[in-house]
Chain A
Amino acid sequence: MKHLILAAGLPFAVLVAGAQSATAETLTIGLAAEPTSIDPHFHNVGPNNAIATHIFDHLVKRDENQQQMPGLAVSWAPIDDLTWEFKLREGVTFHDGSAFNADDVVCTFERAPNVPDSPSSYGTFTKGKTVERIDDFTIHIKTEAPYPLMPNDIANVAIISDDTGCTATTADFNDGSAAIGTGPYRFASFTPGENLTLQRNDDYWDAAPEFETVDYRFLKSGPTRVAALLSGDVDMISGVPTTDIATLQNNDDISLSQGVSNRVIYLHMDQFRDVSPFVTGPNGEEIPNPLRDVRVRQALSMAVSRDAIVDRVMEGTAIKAGQLLPEGFFGISPNLQPVEYDPEGARALLAEAGYPDGFTMTIHGPNDRYINDARIAEALGQMFSRVGIKTSVETMPRSVYFSRASSGSPEGEPEFSFILVGWGAGSGEASSPLRSLVHTYDSERGFGSSNRGRHSNPEIDAIIEQALATVDDAARQDLLAQAMEMAIETVAVIPTHFQVNTWAARDGLSYVPRTDEYTLAMSVTKD
């Protein structure tokens, strides 16, 4: 796509840019979060998984609401307590023409957890599972205990070819020689930190996507991305900053699409120390940790004006949260509503708990991880200050923040007292936040891995564990909802809001928003 240097003539420039995009069938997308590798088993993070979905297929696909659909598997079901059977799709070919069958699945599951140098391995999804080839198009996956989340896990593992992929290195994927999948797009070129080009796979087994060529450009800075869209450099961008949404809405040449994500922004409170390092008395003296008192936690939740966060900080693009996943997801409770803003009630509760003069506290949060994270932390600081809790706010880059928040204290425990964090439910159902954020921290069994407040309630633990071993969907839904209600009731965490993601495209294109925050060229259509 050549740009012309024009001395003058703005309308002409626009015409040229527009006409080229339409005829060449090239879709140029400015991505907020760049994929770091084409190897689908190298780094388990959203941007990489989103790109992998273009080139590779998964046994189980997920639609825009993270509901499961047949992918390379046409059907799946547990055949006994410990075995799931997957029937594979016949007649699918890889981009190099070789046929897809059970051997590819078997070798994929061997490679996925064992990629050298992987900073975040796909072993998370393959551990405890043994894949058995039954015939060319049937496999069995066995576990040691009943495992209801099998399809959710399997949906994260991209299937590679046993001819080209399974013995390949990450570099082989990045240069394209091993980037051969069954997906709707073929790999064309990849420059880390710059761009990725894909070509449509015309032999795709499912509906072929609309655009022949897709050029992803990695534009991390929000204003730069918006400028690129407005100047016609790109046709579409992901991650529209909340500050620019109103202006873009009023721009006739731009169309927006928005959708709630699976990401909840929540607050974790130190509930495991007798004296919390960043909580002191009203005059800075050492006091017993007030955050262990459920009334204090309730008061804090009541002091949060979720309306102000949504309307003022997020400029309307967020949804108030009363639990850990938004409406429509599996395992949520229909009975939970966002806590009402009630500063007087909060003061009364604090007084009742023995803190009529409040206390002093520091909120810690990241400043480059979630949408407007630093500003949310500041707004929270303002709100707590109004109910008598002298609050200061400290935000830092995520590179420093997460390690300190997880294990920054001298004993290797979480360092902070009160933190702002977000959680995206990758599995698309409620056990994901419950087991990681609410369940008691237990490194042996892999529970509570992100429970940085160390809330611990054996009753809730028991229900979560029971849910994770219940294969029957209806029964599991009830158990998860029950655990969710208990977690909110005891204020294990304070959810504030769900992020809403926004994509913007030039007029004439539309995008189907996704809860998993992925940007997929397959979901872009011409009007």
Chain B
Amino acid sequence: MTVFIIRRLMQALVVVFLMSIIVFFGVNVIGDPVAMLISPDADQAEMEAAIRRLGLDRPIHEQYFAFIKGAATGDFGRSFIFGEPALKLILSHMPATLELAFTALFLAVAIGIPLGLYAGLYPDSPISKGIMAGSILGFSLPTFWVGLMMIMLFAVHLQWLPATGRGDTGTFLWFETSLVTRDGLSHIMLPALNLALLKISLAIRLTRAGVREAMGQDYVKFARAKGLSPRRVILVHVMKNILIPVVTVMGLELGSLIGFSVVTETIFAWPGMGKLLIDAILQLDRPIVVAYLMIIVLFFVLINMIVDILYSILDPRVRLQEQGA
């Protein structure tokens, strides 16, 4: 296990390093931040001065080495437009995104698995057909379109829930989160549901497929033949085997939720790091873009590792050490 974790972390470092090269040189190709950020009133001399202040007059490899040197000590440079350390800005926006992603994941599991179970057990019932049709809609509709529809319906017309932003935050253990206040919960409802939609469909389909497959397997037939109650067969034997792939996939989907939150955060003005990223891209705030990607790479490698470990605990047939040999 320890060897496995160390190896994984080493791989992560290599990946982060490679990514830093690609991303750093990549973002330095597009546009000229100063041409966009500078006040039109400024004259040519002032533009030159701004280029020097931001260090953009230096050769790119020199800029890169300066960046790497800083990054090694946790300094990813300063945001061009906010003038604050990029890392600090991203970390301060991270809780909002994480709480959105986890809430969406919770919704996906809480709604998706029961529906999928039903659809798998009674594949021919009209309700199941309805569930499956709904799940196809769920991953066919573009998230941004559904998001706006939700705002129109629940916030503008019915006025049940607020349309934008994050609500009041409270402290839970040592976290600042909006999940512990009523105001916060009312604010997170729409964006989390919007973000979860795709994953609810996924959970339904995974569970249904798993159930249908399991029902035909010998061990289920055997359990039934032994006279176990259908409830026990389903809850103990079937669920145990279904949960493994579902947990794995859903865990991996956490990354995708964080990635997709860019869209949801844009529509609902949710102050997370996805919105920070898209704003940074549109405004050529290079340090933020680079730092975001570095962090997200680390983050995903970490998620993967945790999922693998969980997987090995749930399914003893999987041996961690065998991988990556």
Q: A residues touching B (Cβ–Cβ < 8 Å)?
A: 1-8, 10, 13-14, 30, 36-37, 39, 42-45, 116-121, 123-124, 127, 170-171, 174, 191-195, 217-221, 223-224, 227-228, 230-234, 368, 397-400, 402-403, 406-407, 423-424, 426-427, 432, 436, 443, 446-447, 449-450
B54 within 8 A of A: yes
B38 within 8 A of A: yes
The reply to whether A231 and B49 contact each other, CB–CB distance below 8 Å, is no
The reply to whether A10 and B39 contact each other, CB–CB distance below 8 Å, is no
- Chain A minimum-CB-distance residue to B51: A119
B36 within 8 A of A: yes
The reply to whether A119 and B279 contact each other, CB–CB distance below 8 Å, is no
Q: Given A121-B49, A124-B39, A399-B282 in contact, is the A231-B159 Cβ separation under 8 Å? A: yes
Chain A hits for B33, CB < 8 A:
119, 399
- Chain B minimum-CB-distance residue to A405: B35
The reply to whether B45 and A397 contact each other, CB–CB distance below 8 Å, is no
The reply to whether B78 and A221 contact each other, CB–CB distance below 8 Å, is no
Choose one: B42, B45, B54; the contact of A117 (CB below 8 Å): B54
Chain B hits for A230, CB < 8 A:
155-156, 163
The reply to whether B36 and A402 contact each other, CB–CB distance below 8 Å, is yes
B115 within 8 A of A: no
Inter-chain CA distance A407–B47, complex, in Å, is 12
Choose one: A44, A118, A399; the contact of B41 (CB below 8 Å): A44
Per-position binary interface string of chain B over residues 1-23, scored 1 when its CB falls under 8 Å from any chain A CB and 0 otherwise:
00000000000000000000000
Inter-chain CA distance A87–B253, complex, in Å, is 65
Choose one: B37, B80, B159, B187; the contact of A10 (CB below 8 Å): B159
The reply to whether B36 and A398 contact each other, CB–CB distance below 8 Å, is yes
27 contacts between A and B (CB under 8 A): A2-B181, A4-B182, A7-B160, A14-B159, A36-B82, A44-B39, A117-B53, A118-B50, A119-B37, A119-B38, A120-B39, A121-B49, A170-B83, A171-B83, A174-B83, A192-B92, A195-B165, A219-B165, A220-B279, A224-B163, A224-B267, A397-B282, A399-B281, A402-B35, A403-B35, A407-B35, A449-B43
The reply to whether A231 and B81 contact each other, CB–CB distance below 8 Å, is no
The reply to whether A217 and B53 contact each other, CB–CB distance below 8 Å, is no
B161 within 8 A of A: yes
B275 within 8 A of A: yes
- Chain B minimum-CB-distance residue to A450: B40
B239 within 8 A of A: no
Chain A hits for B32, CB < 8 A:
402-403, 406-407
Chain A hits for B266, CB < 8 A:
221
The reply to whether B81 and A43 contact each other, CB–CB distance below 8 Å, is yes
Per-position binary interface string of chain B over residues 280-321, scored 1 when its CB falls under 8 Å from any chain A CB and 0 otherwise:
011110000000000000000000000000000000000000
Inter-chain CA distance A129–B204, complex, in Å, is 70
The reply to whether A368 and B35 contact each other, CB–CB distance below 8 Å, is no
Total number of A-B contacts with CB less than 8 angstroms? Answer: 199
Per-position binary interface string of chain B over residues 122-152, scored 1 when its CB falls under 8 Å from any chain A CB and 0 otherwise:
0000000000000000000000000010011
For residue A408, give the distance in angstroms from its CB to the closest CB of chain B: 9
Q: Given A227-B164, A231-B159, A399-B283 in contact, is the A191-B271 Cβ separation under 8 Å? A: yes
The reply to whether B37 and A120 contact each other, CB–CB distance below 8 Å, is yes
Choose one: A7, A194, A399; the contact of B166 (CB below 8 Å): A194
Chain B hits for A447, CB < 8 A:
43
Choose one: B41, B167, B181; the contact of A124 (CB below 8 Å): B41
The reply to whether B46 and A123 contact each other, CB–CB distance below 8 Å, is yes
Chain A hits for B271, CB < 8 A:
191, 193-195
Chain B hits for A223, CB < 8 A:
148
B94 within 8 A of A: no
Inter-chain CA distance A463–B38, complex, in Å, is 27
Per-position binary interface string of chain B over residues 254-281, scored 1 when its CB falls under 8 Å from any chain A CB and 0 otherwise:
0000000000001111010001100101
Chain A hits for B283, CB < 8 A:
399
Residue from A4, A36, A43, A193 with most neighbouring chain B CB atoms (10 Å):
A193
Chain B hits for A37, CB < 8 A:
82-83
Inter-chain CA distance A69–B31, complex, in Å, is 40
Chain B hits for A195, CB < 8 A:
165, 271
The reply to whether B159 and A227 contact each other, CB–CB distance below 8 Å, is no
Choose one: A10, A191, A426, A450; the contact of B92 (CB below 8 Å): A191
B158 within 8 A of A: yes
Chain A hits for B284, CB < 8 A:
399
Q: Given A13-B160, A191-B271, A218-B269 in contact, is the A227-B186 Cβ separation under 8 Å? A: no
Inter-chain CA distance A224–B81, complex, in Å, is 23
Choose one: B44, B53, B183; the contact of A116 (CB below 8 Å): B53
Choose one: B43, B54, B93; the contact of A193 (CB below 8 Å): B93
Choose one: B80, B152, B164, B186; the contact of A4 (CB below 8 Å): B186
Inter-chain CA distance A423–B40, complex, in Å, is 8
B84 within 8 A of A: yes
